[in-house]
Amino acid sequence: MQQRAYYVTTPIYYISGNPHIGHVYTTVVADVLARTARTAGPAFFLTGTDEHGQKVANAATAAGKLPQEWCDDLVPRWQSLFAAYHVAYDDFIRTTQPRHERVVQRVFETLRERGDVYLGTYEGWYCVFDETFWLESKLAGGKCPTCGREVQWISEDDWFFALSKYGPRLLEYFRAHPDWVRPKSVYNEMMALLEEGVEDFSISRTNFDWGIPIPGGSGVIYVWFDALLNYISAIGWSVDDDRFHAYWPAAVQLVGKEIARFHTIIWPAVLWAIGEAPPELVFAHGWITVEGQKIGKSLGNAVDPFALADRFGADSLRYFLLREAPFGSDFSYSEEKIAQRHNNDLGNDLGNLAHRTLSMLQRYREGVVPAPGATPVLARFAELPQHMRTAIFDLRFRDALESAWDLVTTLNRAVEERKPWALHKEERGAELDAFLYELCEGLRRLAILLHPFMPERMQELWRRLGIGETRIDDAWESAFARPLAPGTHTILGDPLFPRLDLVGK
């Protein structure tokens, strides 16, 4: 039987404005997961854009454009941003694509036939910014409890989704699968909502028309109902069953914590209603904050992610995002912190290890990898690949990086202790050969293991090690079984992570 692919998704991003570093964050995390999964088997990584709804329509109107025109103009910006951050997704879905719209309409019809979608009257509060309905009791001082904006009163005949029917099953599922929503804090928060009880909610809108038309009716489908279905429309639900089942249920769905409710309460219920299983894991991560506030264009604290990639290097940013905090927690963003990570971990530790190894090789061995001998340090780190893979699949990226950095520091320390310059002076050639070989092979292993995190820089390190222009060897097990060949010509080159001056200092 074909091995089921490791399917990882990001939320699809509203294109109501320009992308910011928060959007890069989730996408880069998904990229690290997908790249790691590909070292062991098939993977599928989906991202995309959420193009319907009032928020996008309002943004288009404000720019004097038709919504479709606005989306078409903006999508390339998102795609080029992800390319700038070396993100290798397998598919980019847009909710205005016919392949998606068809599936949404089919789901709607299926649910209507089953009675899970029915006609009723909706009256209540709505926040356009969050595209969310709110009960009066949930409002904070009459405003949206999530973003603090004004809410509007809506009264219309709508189609409803029978979420309440799934309340008991949701509770049961949560109890039986205590790890399906992580981190624990979010699981507990969702459990509390379920214990309070869930209500049916409207999945159609009639007061504007930028959405997928209700089949055989008037109005459009509620943007969240439309958007959630991207995860299955992209992989051929109801169109190509074999393909769909090669991916679904997803191994992990990444979301920001503010949208955990949609993905852990509404989403599994919709999936059950169409006879499908929930994803294996929903991981709701924390926010990147500036002065305690979530980065986001609307808060006026967005940082241009293109400029950041130019200034620090996209791979340094990727490293920062995954190394700075345990995945799941909020962390504050500052250029100073990025520069510190870049200069210390990347420049002084890893970059220096590469530079001094390759320089010594030039100096003592004309750049050619010598014959191997004993590799005591590497022997101690034999379990590193398994260790890193386990940590990454467990979404403990910081731990994974720290364990790789153990090897970096140990090798740097070994240079101080073994003093290759003294070995050279004392003409202890065989010892020097063995040590230089160990350093080169150590770098090769680091390039392989850190490739999911820093694909461009590690490919460059691979090239410097003289392994050629070939793509870095991604199959970890076989790559480790075939160590660096003696006689390989290495290239010194400029530092991999040139030192940056701190902002304004």
- Choose which of 14, 45, 225, 497 interacts with ligand MSP (CB under 6 A): 14
Q: Shortest approach of ligand MSP to residue 196 CB, angstroms?
A: 23
Beta bridge partners of 44: 7
CA–CA separation, 85 vs 305, rounded Å? 9
Nearer to ligand MSP, 173 or 331 (CB): 331
- Choose which of 236, 256, 305, 455 interacts with ligand MSP (CB under 6 A): 256
Nearer to ligand MSP, 266 or 454 (CB): 266
Residue nearest to ligand MSP (CB): 22
Q: Shortest approach of ligand MSP to residue 230 CB, angstroms?
A: 6
- DSSP for 301-317? ----HHHHHHHH-HHHH
- Choose which of 38, 86, 100, 294 interacts with ligand MSP (CB under 6 A): 294
Angle between helix 67-84 and 21-38 (nearest 10): 60
Nearer to ligand MSP, 6 or 25 (CB): 25
CA–CA separation, 82 vs 451, rounded Å? 17
Q: Does 22 bind ligand MSP (CB under 6 A)?
A: yes
Given a contact cutoff of 8 angstroms between Cβ atoms, the answer to whether 123 and 169 are in contact is no
Given a contact cutoff of 8 angstroms between Cβ atoms, the answer to whether 361 and 368 are in contact is yes
CA–CA separation, 424 vs 336, rounded Å? 40
Q: Shortest approach of ligand MSP to residue 298 CB, angstroms?
A: 9
Nearer to ligand MSP, 50 or 116 (CB): 50
Q: Which residues contact 166 (CB under 8 A, 6 or more apart)?
A: 198, 268, 269, 272, 273
What is the DSSP code (8-state) at residue 17?
Answer: S
Q: Shortest approach of ligand MSP to residue 325 CB, angstroms?
A: 11
Question: Residues 37-76: x/- map of binding to ligand MSP (CB under 6 A)?
Answer: -------------x--------------------------
- Choose which of 6, 26, 45, 318 interacts with ligand MSP (CB under 6 A): 26
Size of the site for ligand MSP (CB under 6 A): 20
Q: Shortest approach of ligand MSP to residue 456 CB, angstroms?
A: 23
- Choose which of 23, 182, 389, 444 interacts with ligand MSP (CB under 6 A): 23
Nearer to ligand MSP, 25 or 381 (CB): 25
Q: Shortest approach of ligand MSP to residue 17 CB, angstroms?
A: 9
CA–CA separation, 221 vs 468, rounded Å? 53
Q: Does 255 bind ligand MSP (CB under 6 A)?
A: yes
Where does this chain touch ligand MSP (CB under 6 A) — which range of 101-109, 226-234, 312-320, 459-467?
A: 226-234
Beta bridge partners of 13: 49
Nearer to ligand MSP, 296 or 370 (CB): 296
Which helix (DSSP H) or strand (DSSP E) does residue 331 occupy?
strand 331-332
Q: Does 95 bind ligand MSP (CB under 6 A)?
A: no
Nearer to ligand MSP, 302 or 479 (CB): 302
- How far from chain centre, in Å, is Cα 499? 27
Strands 117-127 and 293-294, bridge-based pairing? unpaired
Where does this chain touch ligand MSP (CB under 6 A) — which range of 5-13, 139-147, 354-362, 455-463?
A: 5-13
Q: Does 397 bind ligand MSP (CB under 6 A)?
A: no
CA–CA separation, 445 vs 476, rounded Å? 9
Nearer to ligand MSP, 298 or 409 (CB): 298
CA–CA separation, 46 vs 31, rounded Å? 9
Q: Does 227 bind ligand MSP (CB under 6 A)?
A: yes
Nearer to ligand MSP, 287 or 480 (CB): 287
Beta bridge partners of 93: 48
- Choose which of 8, 46, 234, 288 interacts with ligand MSP (CB under 6 A): 288
Token code pair at residue 409: 């520091």
Question: Residues 178-217: x/- map of binding to ligand MSP (CB under 6 A)?
Answer: ----------------------------------------
- Choose which of 5, 11, 479, 480 interacts with ligand MSP (CB under 6 A): 11
Q: Which residues contact 71 (CB under 8 A, 6 or more apart)?
A: 15, 49, 51, 56, 60, 94, 96
Q: Shortest approach of ligand MSP to residue 225 CB, angstroms?
A: 10
Given a contact cutoff of 8 angstroms between Cβ atoms, the answer to whether 292 and 264 are in contact is no
Q: Which string of b and e fits 122-158 if b means at least 16 CB within 10 Å?
A: beebbbbbbbbbbeeeeeeeeebebbeeebeebeeeb
- DSSP for 95-139? TTSHHHHHHHHHHHHHHHHHTSEEEEEEEEEEETTTTEEE-GGG-
Where does this chain touch ligand MSP (CB under 6 A) — which range of 22-30, 67-75, 411-419, 475-483?
A: 22-30
Which helix (DSSP H) or strand (DSSP E) does residue 285 occupy?
strand 282-285
Residues forming contacts to ligand MSP in the complex (CB under 6 A) are 11-14, 22-23, 25-26, 50, 227-228, 230, 255-256, 259, 287-288, 294-296
